[in-house]
């Protein structure tokens, strides 16, 4: 079996520009698409619903749905059917959007609906966003999604799509043996033959459940694009229209096997710096001291002396942690005690560096609601990066013995200078 990201990838169509009008303005602008598939033949079911971790040639998504509704508090017999990807006027539509087009015409504000999907692939990024918008608009609809396979589950954008669905209240799960059996009995032309599971059905299901739990455990609020561009910009001065540059901290915690255990975005809140809130979160996790962990942090401002000291205390208390800090800008870099704070981090085996284009791109892809757009950067990004990197290098390379460093740092208890007159306060 090939490693993640190699050729053996799911091959569902990825024509994001070809998802139709829904990607531009919601399902209300989609053409009406009727449900033309009532049953699936057994061969198609076994091929498209087999829950392989990596799958060849599954270029079509099948969606088996059940709609339960209550009309004036009285149960109504459920609707059932099957959708798959369709092409309408030379424009392809994924199965999820076909269902929304059909279902949107049947919605009544006076009824409550519970919709269940059994899908061969979990939703792509664009479909997840459209479904989330639909659920936010129609609060009388509850949606449960059970997927046979996870689509590009190792890519952050697709993980964020699943988290977005989870965040608006959709139930997102993996199909179990009972779910496959139910689909076989209710959506497949089975000629009254019993369902016969394929090899490793339960084993693969358990693996996918674990992966999905990891993804949903990391549900977080993504930064808006304009906030990222304003707050993470490494320009030395804010240009008109003026705004205050604050501290944002984006972090990702990885386990010994490289799996993502937690990630999120924090900012200063109620006079508590983002770094202190980050430290509290890590301590609350009660990480296994017998395992090794890596944490990468992207921050808009480098830590103040107090935060630097607290971060060093965290590393000293939990020696199994490896911490990397990448800062977009240096905070009060000309003030000696701020320089000592950075030196203290560096001397304590904490990686302290300046964000370059690679780190900005990584932050953009993992922590920003980027709508699928590539990171473009801003004018003179590399030039500012080189200037800030040289400044940090001079600070870290200043000769200062370890004992003198610790003695000097014990005297730094005065806190940050007042930022009230500065637009670039933390």
Which residues belong to the active site?
Answer: 96
Backbone angles phi, psi at 213, to 5 degrees: -60, -40
Residue 87: in which H helix or E strand, if any? Answer: strand 86-88
Please give the biggest Cα pair distance in the chain: 83
The answer for residues whose C-beta is within 8 angstroms of residue 21's C-beta and 6 or more apart is: 29, 30, 31, 91
| Burial class for 78, CB neighbours closer than 10 Å (0-12, 13-18, 19+) | middle
At CA 102, angle to CA 172 and CA 75, rounded to 5? 70
SS3 355: coil
Crossing angle between the packed helical segments 177-187 and 42-49, to the nearest 10 degrees = 150
Q: Is there a contact between 69 and 105 (Cβ–Cβ < 8 Å)?
A: no
**CA–CA separation, 160 and 128 (whole Å):** 9
| Burial class for 301, CB neighbours closer than 10 Å (0-12, 13-18, 19+) | buried
What is residue 28's DSSP assignment? G
Distance from the Cα of residue 180 to its chain's centroid: 28
The answer for residues whose C-beta is within 8 angstroms of residue 372's C-beta and 6 or more apart is: 16, 125, 126, 157
């Amino acid at each position: 079996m090939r490693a993640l990201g190699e050729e053996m990838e799911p091959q569902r169509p990825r024509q994001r520009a070809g998802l139709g009008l829904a990607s531009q303005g919601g399902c209300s602008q989609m053409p009406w698409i009727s449900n033309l598939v009532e049953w699936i033949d057994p061969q198609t079911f076994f091929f498209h619903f087999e829950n392989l971790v990596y799958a060849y040639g599954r270029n079509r998504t099948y969606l088996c749905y059940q709609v339960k509704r209550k009309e004036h508090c009285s149960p109504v017999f459920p609707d059932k059917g099957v959708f798959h990807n369709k092409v309408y006027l030379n424009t392809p539509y994924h199965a999820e959007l076909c269902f929304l087009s059909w279902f949107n015409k049947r919605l009544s504000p006076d009824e409550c609906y519970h919709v269940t999907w059994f899908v061969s692939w979990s939703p792509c990024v664009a479909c997840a966003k459209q479904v989330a918008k639909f659920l936010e608009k129609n609060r009388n609809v509850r949606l449960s999604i059970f997927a046979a396979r996870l689509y590009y589950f190792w890519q952050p954008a697709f993980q964020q799509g699943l988290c977005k669905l989870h965040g608006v209240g959709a139930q997102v799960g993996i199909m179990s043996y009972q779910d496959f059996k139910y689909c076989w009995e209710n959506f497949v032309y089975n000629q009254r033959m019993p369902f016969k599971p394929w090899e490793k059905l339960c084993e693969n299901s358990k693996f996918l459940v674990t992966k999905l739990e990891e993804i949903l455990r990391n549900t977080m609020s993504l930064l808006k694009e304009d906030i990222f561009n304003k707050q993470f910009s490494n320009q030395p001065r804010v240009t008109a229209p003026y705004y205050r540059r604050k501290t944002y901290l984006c972090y990702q915690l990885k386990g010994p096997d490289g799996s993502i255990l937690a990630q999120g975005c924090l900012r200063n809140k109620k006079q508590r710096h983002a770094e202190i809130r980050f430290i509290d979160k890590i301590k609350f996790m009660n990480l296994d001291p017998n395992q090794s962990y890596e944490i990468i942090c992207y921050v808009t401002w480098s830590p103040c002396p107090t935060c630097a000291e607290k971060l060093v205390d965290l590393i000293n208390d939990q020696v199994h942690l490896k911490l990397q800090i990448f800062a977009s800008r240096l905070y009060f870099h000309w003030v000696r005690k701020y320089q000592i704070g950075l030196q203290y981090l560096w001397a304590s085996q904490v990686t302290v560096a300046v964000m370059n284009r690679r780190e900005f791109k990584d932050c953009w892809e993992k922590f920003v609601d980027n709508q699928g757009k590539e990171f473009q950067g801003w004018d003179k990004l590399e030039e500012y990066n080189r200037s800030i990197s040289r400044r940090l290098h001079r600070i870290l390379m200043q000769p200062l013995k370890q004992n003198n460093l610790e003695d000097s740092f014990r005297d730094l208890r005065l806190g940050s200078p007042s930022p009230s007159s500065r637009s670039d306060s933390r």
